[in-house]
Amino acid sequence: MIVLGVESSCDETGLALYDTEQGLLAHALHSQVEMHAEYGGVVPELASRDHIRRVLPLTENVLKTANKTLQDIDAIAYTQGPGLSGALLVGTSFAESLAFSLQIPTINVHHLEGHLLAPLLEANPPAFPFVALLVSGGHSQLMRVDGIGEYELLGDTLDDAAGEAFDKTAKLLGLGYPGGPALSKLAQSGKARFKLPRPLLNSGDLNFSFSGLKTAVLTLVNQHQPLDAATTADIAWEFQEAVTEILTLKCMTALRETGLDNLVVSGGVGANSKLREKLNAATKRKLCKVSYPRLEFCTDNGAMIAFAGAMRLKAMHGNGNGNKNYGFSVRPRWDLAELQKPAI
């Protein structure tokens, strides 16, 4: 079965073709980062308009790369939410109308389920059950995953998400948008000089809180005006150290408390090399396994949506399942806990 995946929930248009027999056939992405950079963040209306421009050429691109035609597609999976409503509407209406014209089923995918399952696209994928750390621009969650649609929330952020904290701190340091990768790069030239707090590190639960960290950075920035390059790098170093230390400790606690020995990391912050370094070392010490998506599939992409859709179709024992009512609706707010096991 060949599934076309469509991702358009925020500022990336992602298309992909996934074959349940042969794996990922092709994927293509257009990032709007440069377009939004001058505004310092995503401008929703510009995002929607750009998705409209990109979605068809990217579809042609993946079909050509995979040497397939529209008639080879068995189902279309698309991100129905959560995300920006206008942006989601582009992918949704495109997917539903194309599926209608081809008379094939659609599968509405939860964006976070896409992220969560992205590490399973790699060779030697982890087996269920596992603990998942989902760290993106909008989420910082720890979950117990027993199968497709079987997600138990173990811990969540009480305020800012990890990626959001990276982005806001980067802005305070004058690093522009999006801040996570820029801050992480700058931190490489920094050193241990400042000490930031580690909020909720020893809270005894699996929740996170990152907004206080950002405020502590603001205090440091104000104390060291005008900021020179070395000080900026040292603050970036310590900020990254604090966030990755907290994430690592909470992951290890989650593994211990669930009794599981498999950790899966996904979402944009999962691309952070310091986080990977710390998690690799900590899981190795405890004889646990840790899996990540390849770097390009940490951030938003169509492959994870095609894959999540294919997994759902497969769990429904395939052909003919999925939706064939071709309705248009998006779910800008959608709790992952609402997802259920695919009905057979």
Contact footprint for Zn ion (CB under 5 A): 136, 300
Nearest distance from residue 238's CB to ligand KG4, in Å?
15
Spatial neighbors of 239 by CB under 8 A, at least 6 apart, are 166, 169, 183, 187, 196, 213, 217
Pick what 167 binds: Zn ion, ligand KG4, none; C-beta below 5 to 8 Å, kind-dependent: ligand KG4
Q: What are the residues facing 135 on neighbouring strands?
A: 140
Q: Is 32 in the site for ligand KG4 (CB under 6 A)?
A: no
Distance of alpha carbon 224 from alpha carbon 206, whole angstroms: 34
Pick what 178 binds: ligand KG4, Zn ion, none; C-beta below 5 to 8 Å, kind-dependent: ligand KG4
* Three-state helix/strand/coil letters over 17-42: EEECCCEEEEEEEEECHHHHHCCCCC
Choose between 234 and 300: whose C-beta lies nearer to Zn ion: 300
Residue 159's φ and ψ, nearest 5 degrees, are -145, -105
Nearest distance from residue 245's CB to ligand KG4, in Å?
14
Q: Which residue is nearest to Zn ion (CB)?
A: 300
Cα angle: 295, vertex 296, 300; to 5 degrees: 120
Spatial neighbors of 188 by CB under 8 A, at least 6 apart, are none
Q: How far is CA 325 from the centre of its chain?
A: 29
Choose between 73 and 165: whose C-beta lies nearer to ligand KG4: 165
Nearest distance from residue 300's CB to Zn ion, in Å?
4
Q: Is 166 in the site for ligand KG4 (CB under 6 A)?
A: yes
Interface segment toward ligand KG4; rule CB under 6 A; list 91-99, 205-213, 261-269, 330-338:
261-269
At 159, is the secondary structure helix, strand, or coil? coil
The structure tokens listed for 286 are 């405890």
The structure tokens listed for 246 are 């907290």
Among 180, 302, 309, 322, binds ligand KG4 (CB under 6 A): 180
Choose between 232 and 272: whose C-beta lies nearer to ligand KG4: 272
Choose between 194 and 210: whose C-beta lies nearer to Zn ion: 210
CB 239 within 8 A of CB 187: yes
Pick what 194 binds: ligand KG4, Zn ion, none; C-beta below 5 to 8 Å, kind-dependent: none
Among 86, 149, 268, 342, binds ligand KG4 (CB under 6 A): 268
Distance of alpha carbon 79 from alpha carbon 330, whole angstroms: 9
Q: Is 269 in the site for ligand KG4 (CB under 6 A)?
A: yes
Nearest distance from residue 151's CB to ligand KG4, in Å?
16
Residues that bind ligand KG4 (CB under 6 A): 136-138, 163, 166-167, 178-181, 184, 267-269, 271-272, 299-300
